[in-house]
Copies of this chain bind each other. A is one copy, B any other.
């Protein structure tokens, strides 16, 4: 299978946008559209050497780390267009793990190709810096840390997913949550029982319909507005 950044619908989110055509082709030649991954397979693990960035083409993934006590802490969920591995550039070694939650396709972009491209193309250089800067400003932990009730954290989490799916042209009204309640809880810093109860309450308030992992969002603005 061939990587065709030139025609990739996600290019604007990825690394190759804003590259002059010649550079884009050059980078593209170095990119391998990874073989489809099965749910449960890892893109990389903490401690692995860093030598490439990854771009999600399809599917869902999650980033997690191990706590001191050994158990898992979920740090984020990824959709098509997300770039993975940026935080390992400096250390040259991954400090988190990324695992596929569903079957996925992921592009591998060797980091030396990025460096080479950046040294010859100011546009590429800028793009990389801006990608990093944007990620810094995103701070998804506001969701978690902002002294919010369980309900507003869960609502905010769903609103975030809806917004991201919408931006990517995916169905944002009804979709399947690929992660367990425990994953959501780990991400939001709530017990999985609390996540469950919150979803029930959101459903009672007619903001969403939840059946197991199937979700239908009835009132997106309502979700964003919960502040309790």
Contact = CB atoms under 8 A, between A and B. Distances in A.
A166 interface: no
Contacts of A90: 130-131, 133-134, 137
A204 to B, nearest CB: 23
A68 B147 CA distance: 12
A144 interface: yes
B69 A227 contact: yes
Interface string A147-190: 10000000000000000000000000000000000000000010
State the majority secondary structure of interface residues on A.
helix
Interface string A51-83: 000000000000000011100010100000000
A75 B147 CA distance: 13
20 contacts: A69-B227, A73-B146, A73-B147, A87-B136, A87-B137, A88-B133, A89-B133, A91-B134, A91-B137, A95-B137, A118-B129, A119-B125, A129-B129, A129-B132, A136-B136, A141-B145, A144-B145, A145-B145, A145-B189, A146-B189
Given A67-B146, A141-B141, A146-B189, 13 more contacts: A68-B227, A86-B136, A88-B133, A89-B129, A89-B133, A90-B131, A90-B133, A118-B125, A129-B129, A132-B132, A141-B145, A145-B145, A147-B189
